[in-house]
Structure 1
Amino acid sequence: MKNYADAVAFLGQWGCFQQTVFLLLCASIMPNGYGAFILIFLTDTPSHYYCLVPDVNLTDKWRESVIPITVVEGNQEQSRCSRYRLDVVKNLSAQGFIPGRDINLTDLEQEDCVDGWSYSKDVYQSTIVTQFDLVCSEQWKQPVTTTIFFMGVFCGSFFSGHMSDRYGRKPVLFLTIGLQTAFTFAQVFSTSWIMFLILLFFNGLGQMSNFVAALVLGAEILTGNIRVLYSSLGSNLSFAIGYMVLPLCAYFLRDWKSLLLVLSVPCLVFIPLWWVIPESPRWLLSQGRVEEAEAIVRKAAKWNKVQAPRVIFEDCNINASKNEKEKFNVFDLFRRKIIRTTTLLLCIVSFTVSATYYSVSYNTAQLHVDPYISCFISAVVEIPAYFSSWMALRYLPRRLSVVGTLILAAMPLYFVHLVPGNLSGLSLTLEMVSKYFITTAFSLMFAFTTELYPTVLRNTATATTSTVSRMGSCITPFLLSLSVYYNYVPYITLASLALLSAFAALFLPESFKQPLPESIQQMHQRGRIKCPCITGNKTSVPVEPLDGPL
């Protein structure tokens, strides 16, 4: 009995068909790189802002003194959230009183910034913070904005997985790309913070859902080492390239509306790809649509200029008639003990990986005086991390790789808060080391999850664990805000979660050098939880070769 990889082995691994699918799916992932972190610039607050003073008849001396002086961390600076009562100041100025000589300013009554704020434009021409005045008493809206975005990602991940397993990988991929593009463009026309928030939520619905759909689609079409290359390096490098494009665009486009516009319009080029990117033959077979699967493979054979056999999937180890009648959903991830245990363990690890990844990413983007440099450095660190995950996926057991990267990501976080304030370079280095290892773990988890589940549940499982991981990203803004009270709390919390998840990952099944399971029965064969010291599980299912040359 043949598995899918054996049935399509005549195509080869790196023909014209595979190259086209590989490159186009990678291109479709790039917008996720800048979409995931664009809020770094959209919600950033200018370093200097203070109450706006209308153009009223005041002497120069009074205009300079109308903003109170406060002491912040031992330094004197103008108050950001109050001013002296303007009607009193106007009256004193008209009478010729001089502040500091005739009038003791500390005796004057203060008021809120009733006329708005004046913002520095040294770094940004405008952000949503300056557009909607999300400062002082409204400052709580900044972390809420980021959380609402991740709530959209959370909901999108949940529903897109089930839809993808029911209606196909390809329709969901293009639906989510369309959502992301349309609502990113629509945000440009936001006239209030509430309107921006609603559009941002719908933008989030497509943000990472199309990444998961593209990842699963590529993992199911490609085989052997090329599948590993795509799942670990190709898809993630595309994400990193999009991430690096963000600070470059933001540097030249200091206005938030221009940035959104420029990053949304190019996504329209993905529309024609509907007629080029095929549906997953594995998924079609799982639905009993054998003729459609064979048509795609025969087209691939023409592209690769090879001869297809007369019958391709006659002996393939797929019970098409059974799968055609049986529908699967998210509840099937919890009905059987082995699948339930695997799912719960993956959810724990994914939650921690996501929370740590986004916390470190959003925090390191603020570690340099120049936010554009900070964001670019944070993005560049991901490049070697993705190469590391690729090498780990090729040569190391999955479980060992995940456990090791989680432990190595946790260790630097325990020491960051111990670094003296005058050694900021050392703090930056420690955070970047942690970012490197947690990014490696992030990449490993996507590939690991797709390898553990059968075709009928693969996208549902990947999306479900991704959904749980988004809960981790939702807490990121509030976790980072705790540093205002206790600087060490975010670091200790994240490091402790990483160590706990490393222990949980010890009990996951191993998928190294195993074929992608096509049925729930095959997952059960390899999924029996064994002693963590055992690095692999034996199975009677034929092994898809992963050792051959690229």
Structure 2
Amino acid sequence: MSGEKIKDFDEITSFLGVYGFFQILIIVLLNLSAIACGYTGMIMIFVSDTPEHHCKVSINSKHNSTDVEVPFREQRSWVGPDSCSRYKLDGNWTETGAPSNDTEQCLDGWVFSTEIYTATIVSEWDLVCDNAWMVPFTTSLFFVGVLIGSFISGHLSDRFGRKPVFFFTMAIQTVTPLIQATSVSWVMFCILNCLRGLGQISNYITSLILGSGMLSPTARLSYALLGHSLGFGVGYALLPIFAYFIRGWRMLLVASAIPGFLFIPTWWVIPESPRWLLQKGRVEEAESVIRAAAKRNKVPVPEIIYRADECLELMQNKSEDEQTYTYLDLIRTPNMRNITILSVFIWIATSMVFYGLSLNTSNLNGNMYLTCFISAAIDIVVYVATWLLVNRVSRPTFLCSALMFCGIMLLIIKLVPEDMDVMFQVFAFAGKIGVSAAFSFIFLFFTELIPTVVRNMGLAIASTAARIGTIICPYVIYMVVR
């Protein structure tokens, strides 16, 4: 019955057109909100990057008593054999500055290079050597917040409305990094990082739901598959540009709050979803939104759009239908069981590889700002290509081809000699093309594949699996880099 309701809504509001001024305004504003989500979602690339470092040495020798500053890399060569140990300071330093061959831990802390950053959380709280595990843990906590946000955003928007939750989560996404930028400890930063992840994904999902509730099926597909993904990609692309000019992690977080303040005036422009209002029986408010949209589009509107008794009857039938199904229905039949199991594995693998390649750009040899920007540019191009191909290639063929291409490119990397940095980057970016296509496509694919009556539950399971993959992802990078 819920399918009939959506169809009735689309038919009755067809007089609004597909791409009138109202629809274009909503698409543009909500896609702009996704820019902040893309920036925030990838900001840990620069905030938690590990600068070059070596042990701190509190001595006066020929190496540090001259008027000329010793280059950082030269300091590393005589302070210790690696970044986690130093030559013992036991009086064996010679006139020529040669240290003892015996080593010890970095008892006095570390000195970090400021060639790339003025500071990151790693240099702020010495998250290196024995404390290096704290870096992936910090990033994982962001994705724990994303997992929680994925769970609660849908329930909150169903209960309180799409618009209030959209602006509330945007407020969280705006205020949290401002507070996080004042963190006085690693623990405080981690707690706020989790909250930032909750706000980021909740805002992204709610804006997607809010926009979809006001658009026709044709515009809805373009909005979800192209527009919203492009907004995320643009935010990702802006991140290395901002990071290039803002070398400190605190101000980089502050910059992520700017879009939230710019969006304050849109409270009076973006309406509540008329679909949600109809579901709640608030027919007059829904009609008011539709009439305002018609006025913006300069089209005539019928005198009566919806009758209250019809909406209430549809609401009652929808509730009765939804109470019939449970999560067990996702594994009750062989076909549904296969779909559920495949969705879990595909979402875990796709999300883990997508975020793994994105977050690992700082470990690719070369200019990290350029590599990060190229990675984001690839995503933008792939999103457009996916939108163009989605109705020209069968769904299973497209998804399978994208994942296979990514896997083959990443396997070939193991055959590339270590000194061939350019080839390594080429194959890494080629793999990113495949996984980005799959990442932007899987939501649409499984939305169509899972039956309507269990669709929300099926997507919730798949989305949870994806978040588990992203939580594990920073540790995979950590183990590989080590």
Of residues 273, 282, 287, the one that matches 1:289 is 282
Q: What displacement does 1:279 show?
A: 2.1
Q: What displacement does 1:162 show?
A: 2.2
- For the residues of structure 2 that align with 1:166 and 1:328, how far apart are their CA atoms? 16
Q: What displacement does 1:100 show?
A: 7.1
8 Å contact from structure 1 (residues 184, 260) kept in 2: yes
Of residues 182, 188, 192, the one that matches 1:195 is 188
Secondary structure of the structure 1 residue equivalent to 2:111: strand
Indicate the residue corresponding to 2:426 in structure 1.
429
8 Å contact from structure 1 (residues 232, 443) kept in 2: yes
The verdict on how the C-alpha distance between 1:454 and 1:290 changes in structure 2, with shifts beyond 3 A counting, is farther
Paired AA for residue 483 in structure 1: V
Of residues 157, 161, 170, the one that matches 2:150 is 157
Q: What displacement does 1:332 show?
A: 4.0
Indicate the residue corresponding to 1:504 in structure 2.
none
- For the residues of structure 1 that align with 2:208 and 2:398, how far apart are their CA atoms? 20
Indicate the residue corresponding to 2:85 in structure 1.
82
The verdict on how the C-alpha distance between 1:310 and 1:397 changes in structure 2, with shifts beyond 3 A counting, is farther
The verdict on how the C-alpha distance between 1:456 and 1:216 changes in structure 2, with shifts beyond 3 A counting, is farther
**Is 1:16–2:21 an aligned residue pair?**
yes
Paired AA for residue 475 in structure 1: I
Of residues 303, 306, 314, the one that matches 1:320 is 314
**Is 1:52–2:56 an aligned residue pair?**
yes
Q: What displacement does 1:136 show?
A: 1.3
* Structure 1: runs of 5 or more not aligned: 486-550
1:376-412 CA-partner distances (Å, limit 9, x unpaired): 1111111210011111234344343323322222221
The verdict on how the C-alpha distance between 1:233 and 1:413 changes in structure 2, with shifts beyond 3 A counting, is same
Identity among equivalent positions (%) equals 39
- For the residues of structure 2 that align with 1:330 and 1:144, how far apart are their CA atoms? 41
Indicate the residue corresponding to 2:472 in structure 1.
475
Indicate the residue corresponding to 2:202 in structure 1.
209
8 Å contact from structure 2 (residues 62, 96) kept in 1: no
Trace 1:59-138 onto structure 2 (pairs within 5 A): 59-60=61-62, 78-86=81-89, 88-89=90-91, 97-98=94-95, 105-106=100-101, 108=102, 110-138=103-131
Of residues 227, 230, 235, the one that matches 2:223 is 230
Output the TM-score relative to the length of structure 2: 0.87
Of residues 383, 406, 412, the one that matches 2:409 is 412
8 Å contact from structure 2 (residues 45, 361) kept in 1: no
1:217-255 CA-partner distances (Å, limit 9, x unpaired): 222321133222111111111111101110000000101
8 Å contact from structure 1 (residues 165, 459) kept in 2: no
The verdict on how the C-alpha distance between 1:5 and 1:404 changes in structure 2, with shifts beyond 3 A counting, is farther
Q: What displacement does 1:318 show?
A: 8.9
8 Å contact from structure 2 (residues 49, 362) kept in 1: no
8 Å contact from structure 1 (residues 165, 457) kept in 2: no
- For the residues of structure 2 that align with 1:289 and 1:105, how far apart are their CA atoms? 80
Indicate the residue corresponding to 1:385 in structure 2.
382
Secondary structure of the structure 2 residue equivalent to 1:50: strand
1:12-69 CA-partner distances (Å, limit 9, x unpaired): 001111011101100111111111111111111113x112223x5x33159799x9x9
The verdict on how the C-alpha distance between 1:105 and 1:18 changes in structure 2, with shifts beyond 3 A counting, is same
Of residues 9, 13, 21, the one that matches 1:4 is 9
Q: What displacement does 1:281 show?
A: 2.2
Q: What displacement does 1:435 show?
A: 0.7
1:162-216 CA-partner distances (Å, limit 9, x unpaired): 2223333222222221211111111111111111111111111111221111122
Trace 1:264-279 onto structure 2 (pairs within 5 A): 264-279=257-272
- For the residues of structure 2 that align with 1:352 and 1:454, how far apart are their CA atoms? 23
8 Å contact from structure 1 (residues 359, 476) kept in 2: yes
Paired AA for residue 50 in structure 1: H
Trace 1:301-312 onto structure 2 (pairs within 5 A): 301-312=294-305
1:502-547 CA-partner distances (Å, limit 9, x unpaired): xxxxxxxxxxxxxxxxxxxxxxxxxxxxxxxxxxxxxxxxxxxxxx
- For the residues of structure 1 that align with 2:252 and 2:32, how far apart are their CA atoms? 20
- For the residues of structure 1 that align with 2:476 and 2:175, how far apart are their CA atoms? 31
Q: What displacement does 1:423 show?
A: 3.1
Number of residues of Structure 1 aligned to a counterpart in Structure 2: 469
- For the residues of structure 2 that align with 1:166 and 1:474, how far apart are their CA atoms? 28
Paired AA for residue 155 in structure 2: H
Secondary structure of the structure 2 residue equivalent to 1:118: strand
Indicate the residue corresponding to 1:250 in structure 2.
243
Alignment root-mean-square deviation, CA: 3.4
The verdict on how the C-alpha distance between 1:121 and 1:292 changes in structure 2, with shifts beyond 3 A counting, is same
Q: Hey, which of these two has a bigger chunk of helix by percent?
A: 2
Indicate the residue corresponding to 2:33 in structure 1.
28
Indicate the residue corresponding to 1:363 in structure 2.
360
Trace 1:487-526 onto structure 2 (pairs within 5 A): none
8 Å contact from structure 1 (residues 154, 470) kept in 2: yes
Secondary structure of the structure 1 residue equivalent to 2:301: coil
1:418-474 CA-partner distances (Å, limit 9, x unpaired): 122243322222221221121111111233455567899776765553332111111
Secondary structure of the structure 1 residue equivalent to 2:302: coil
The verdict on how the C-alpha distance between 1:146 and 1:424 changes in structure 2, with shifts beyond 3 A counting, is same
Paired AA for residue 60 in structure 1: K
Of residues 398, 403, 406, the one that matches 1:401 is 398
* Structure 2: runs of 5 or more not aligned: none
Output the TM-score relative to the length of structure 1: 0.77
Secondary structure of the structure 2 residue equivalent to 1:105: coil
8 Å contact from structure 1 (residues 232, 386) kept in 2: yes
